[in-house]
Amino acid sequence: MSNNTDSIEQGVEDAQRAALKLATLSEAQRNEALHAIADAIDSHHEAILKENKKDVRHGEELLAKGEYSQALVDRLKLSESKLESISEMVRSVAQQEDPLEKTLTARHLDHGLDLYKVAVPIGVVGTVFESRPDALVQIAALSLKSGNSVILKGGSEAKHSNRVLYRLIIEATSDIPAGWAQHIEAREEVTALLAMDEKIDLLMPRGSSEFVQYIQDNTSIPVLGHTEGVCHVFVDKKADLQMASDVAFDAKVQYPAVCNAVETLLVHESVADAYLPDIVSRYEEAGVEVRGDEKTQSYVEVEDATEKDWATEYGDRIISVRVIDSLVDAIDHITTYSSKHTESIITEDSDRAEQFMRNLDSASVFHNASTRFSDGYRFGLGAEVGISTGKIHARGPVGLEGLTTYKYHLEGDGHIVASYAGEDAIPFQHEEFDGTWPPTADK
Alpha carbon 72 to its chain centroid, in Å, reads 20
d(CA 165, CA 133): 8
Site residue total, a copy of itself (CB under 8 A): 82
Is the CB of 64 or the CB of 392 nearer to a copy of itself? 392
d(CA 76, CA 133): 7
Q: Are 315 and 205 in contact (CB under 8 A)?
A: no
Q: Which of 32, 62, 379, 435 binds a copy of itself (CB under 8 A)?
A: 379
Q: How many CB atoms lie within 10 A of CB 30?
A: 20
Q: Give which of 126, 139, 133, 137 is closest to 155, Cα–Cα.
A: 133
Is the CB of 82 or the CB of 415 nearer to a copy of itself? 415
Is the CB of 162 or the CB of 342 nearer to a copy of itself? 342
Site for a copy of itself in 166-205 (CB under 8 A): 197, 201-202
Q: Give, in order, the Cα–Cα distances in Å from 442 to each of 34, 112, 179, 286, 412.
A: 33, 11, 35, 66, 11
- Region of 18 please: left (phi>0), alpha (psi -120 to 50) or beta: alpha
Is the CB of 274 or the CB of 410 nearer to a copy of itself? 410
Is the CB of 28 or the CB of 418 nearer to a copy of itself? 418
Smallest gap from residue 52 Cβ to a copy of itself (A): 25
Site for a copy of itself in 90-129 (CB under 8 A): 107, 109, 113, 115, 122-123
Q: Are 35 and 175 in contact (CB under 8 A)?
A: no
Site for a copy of itself in 333-372 (CB under 8 A): 335, 346, 350-351, 353-354, 357-359, 361-370, 372
Listed in sequence order, the residues at least 6 apart from 286 whose beta carbon sits closer than 8 Å to its beta carbon are 249, 253, 317
Would you call 206 helix, strand, or coil by DSSP?
strand
Burial class (CB in 10 A: 0-12, 13-18, 19+), 198: exposed
Site for a copy of itself in 383-422 (CB under 8 A): 390-393, 395-397, 405-418, 420-421
64 lies in the binding site for a copy of itself (CB under 8 A): no
Spell out, one character per residue from 204 to 223, where the chain touches a copy of itself: x when CB under 8 A holds, - when not.
Answer: ---------x--xx--x-xx
Would you call 342 helix, strand, or coil by DSSP?
strand
Smallest gap from residue 73 Cβ to a copy of itself (A): 22
Binding segment toward a copy of itself, per CB under 8 A, in 136-144, 282-290, 293-301, 435-443: 435-443
Q: Give which of 200, 175, 174, 172 is closest to 26, Cα–Cα.
A: 175
Smallest gap from residue 89 Cβ to a copy of itself (A): 15
Q: Give, in order, the Cα–Cα distances in Å from 204 to each of 221, 231, 378.
A: 10, 21, 21
Is the CB of 48 or the CB of 89 nearer to a copy of itself? 89
Smallest gap from residue 212 Cβ to a copy of itself (A): 10
Q: Give, in order, the Cα–Cα distances in Å from 232 to each of 185, 267, 336, 367.
A: 36, 11, 12, 12
Smallest gap from residue 126 Cβ to a copy of itself (A): 13
Smallest gap from residue 180 Cβ to a copy of itself (A): 15
Smallest gap from residue 251 Cβ to a copy of itself (A): 8
CA atoms within 13 A on the CB side of 64: 6
Smallest gap from residue 120 Cβ to a copy of itself (A): 8
Smallest gap from residue 59 Cβ to a copy of itself (A): 25
Smallest gap from residue 24 Cβ to a copy of itself (A): 5
Interhelix angle 45-64/27-42, nearest 10 degrees: 70
Q: Which of 2, 178, 378, 436 binds a copy of itself (CB under 8 A)?
A: 378
Is the CB of 178 or the CB of 425 nearer to a copy of itself? 425
- Region of 66 please: left (phi>0), alpha (psi -120 to 50) or beta: left
Binding segment toward a copy of itself, per CB under 8 A, in 43-51, 57-65, 86-94, 375-383: 375-383
Smallest gap from residue 160 Cβ to a copy of itself (A): 30
438 lies in the binding site for a copy of itself (CB under 8 A): yes
Burial class (CB in 10 A: 0-12, 13-18, 19+), 129: buried
Is the CB of 22 or the CB of 184 nearer to a copy of itself? 22
Spell out, one character per residue from 9 to 28, where the chain touches a copy of itself: x when CB under 8 A holds, - when not.
Answer: ----------xx--xx----
Site for a copy of itself in 230-289 (CB under 8 A): 240, 243, 246-247, 249-251, 254-255
